[in-house]
Amino acid sequence: AIAPAVIAISCGDQTPAPEPTPGNPNTDNPQNPNPGNPGGGTVDPVEAAKTEAKTAIDAAVELSDSVKEALKRQVEATTTEAAARDLKTKADALVSAVKALSGSVTAAKAVKEDAEYSKV
């Protein structure tokens, strides 16, 4: 059920916010709270590699949620671009291993269901 407080939030005043004035000191934030972006239009390569690794891990349907969370914690703890990329490679290898194992299990089941198998 949706909490009543959540519903009340959506019923607020619909007056649009005023447009900010360029150069207004009340809207300028000299402190960048995002450590992943050093500013100047550049992207931190370590953060970019971490994001890429976590995205690949999240997309791996073959991995359980607990395995994904463990891998993402390792990615978050890395301090270099190479380490983050290495973890992405390891996650990809784990997905390949899970797919291969799943294929072997499926093949074994098919062999057992074969009529010739039961004659042995």
Going from N- to C-terminal start, the domains of the chain cover 45-118
**Model pLDDT, residue 96:** 93
**Model pLDDT, residue 10:** 46
Residue keyed to tokens 């799943």? 102
Provide the 10 A C-beta neighbour count for residue 63.
Answer: 18
Tens-digit pLDDT profile for residues 57-100: 999 999 999 999 999 999 999 999 999 999 999 999 999 999 99
**pLDDT-derived band at 17, boundaries 50, 70, 90:** low
- What's the CA gap between 10 and 13, in Å, rounded? 9
Amino acid, single-letter form, for residue 104: S
**Model pLDDT, residue 109:** 87
Cβ proximity of 19 and 54 under 8 Å:
no
Alpha-carbon distance values, 99 to 8, 56, 80, 88 (Å):
47, 16, 29, 17
Tell me the mean pLDDT in the region 1-11.
46
Helices 65-77 and 45-59: crossing angle in degrees, nearest 10, is 170
Predicted model pTM = 0.56
Tens-digit pLDDT profile for residues 43-68: 899 999 999 999 999 999 999 999 99
How does DSSP classify residue 40? T
Asked if the 45-118 domain carries CATH number 1.20.5.420, the reply is yes
- What's the CA gap between 120 and 30, in Å, rounded? 78
